Amino acid sequence: MSILLFFLASIGAIVGAVGVVALRNPFYGVLSLVAHLICLAVLFLLLQAEFLAAAQVIIYAGAVMVLYVFVVAYIGGQDESLGTSHGVLRVLTPIFVGVLIVELLIALLGSGLSAVTSKGAKVSTLFGSANQIGDLMLTKFLLPFEVASLLLLVAAIGAVGLARRRVGYGPGDVPFDAATIAAAPPAGTGTMAEASGDRPVAGFRGEDR
């Protein structure tokens, strides 16, 4: 049963990976990567990494891929153009990839480690559960855990800073200078000056103050 599941999941993962590279429309590429990630989660389950499999499906296939889908929809997902300026790269890449596969297989499988061909060490049923992962994360790996949370915060702030709309820098934008700020907005539009009472508004009785 586990052998059948392994072959199904690994074939699905490899087909999904090939789909990401081969499909011309980036939208289909993203969907192919979702299929790949779900197959990978099945492989994680076979390796008794239950918590990691759940995190893979929820965070990766759920949250991160939704981000991709949104950006592809926003950019417009133009198809890959066929012509390339780097013809040399087109020729050399398959050779390089072939050499890389052979090298990796030699390094991983030809190492002569007896443990590689075994089914792995004997582990309890608790191995890889949320219980054990949480225990490790908050004791032995507390520092990496905190650093990772800081990294997430920095990345979120950086992404907001990168993608925000910059007024006055595009072609045909109104320059955002002192004169624009000084020009008062129409009365009663809820500005800070009105809220604080610096600029009284006709008809506003100030009942809630």
Instruction: Kindly state whether residue 183 participates in binding other proteins, applying the rule CB under 8 A.
Output: no
* Nearest alpha-carbon partner for 69 in 106, 25, 36, 112: 25
Burial class (CB in 10 A: 0-12, 13-18, 19+), 36: buried
With respect to other proteins, which residue has the nearer C-beta, 122 or 209? 122
* Nearest alpha-carbon partner for 47 in 128, 105, 118: 128
CB of 50 to other proteins, least distance (A): 10
Answer yes or no: are the C-beta atoms of 28 and 36 closer than 8 Å: no
Q: Check residue 62 and report its DSSP letter.
A: I
With respect to other proteins, which residue has the nearer C-beta, 90 or 209? 90
With respect to other proteins, which residue has the nearer C-beta, 52 or 201? 52
Instruction: Kindly state whether residue 47 participates in binding other proteins, applying the rule CB under 8 A.
Output: yes
Instruction: Kindly state whether residue 31 participates in binding other proteins, applying the rule CB under 8 A.
Output: no
Answer yes or no: are the C-beta atoms of 39 and 5 closer than 8 Å: no
Instruction: Kindly state whether residue 93 participates in binding other proteins, applying the rule CB under 8 A.
Output: yes
Q: Give the one residue of 35, 46, 54, 201 binding other proteins; rule: CB under 8 A.
A: 46
In the block, tokens 């999904």 appear at 16
Instruction: Kindly state whether residue 154 participates in binding other proteins, applying the rule CB under 8 A.
Output: yes
Instruction: Kindly state whether residue 132 participates in binding other proteins, applying the rule CB under 8 A.
Output: yes
Instruction: Kindly state whether residue 43 participates in binding other proteins, applying the rule CB under 8 A.
Output: yes
> Which of these ranges, 38-46, 174-182, 185-193, 197-205, lies near other proteins under the rule CB under 8 A?
38-46
For the CA atoms of 64, 70, 74, 77, the dihedral, rounded to the nearest 10 degrees, stands at 70
Q: On the CB side of 187, how many CA atoms lie within 13 Å of its CA?
A: 8
Q: Give the one residue of 1, 143, 163, 174 binding other proteins; rule: CB under 8 A.
A: 163
> Which of these ranges, 5-13, 174-182, 183-191, 193-201, lies near other proteins under the rule CB under 8 A?
5-13
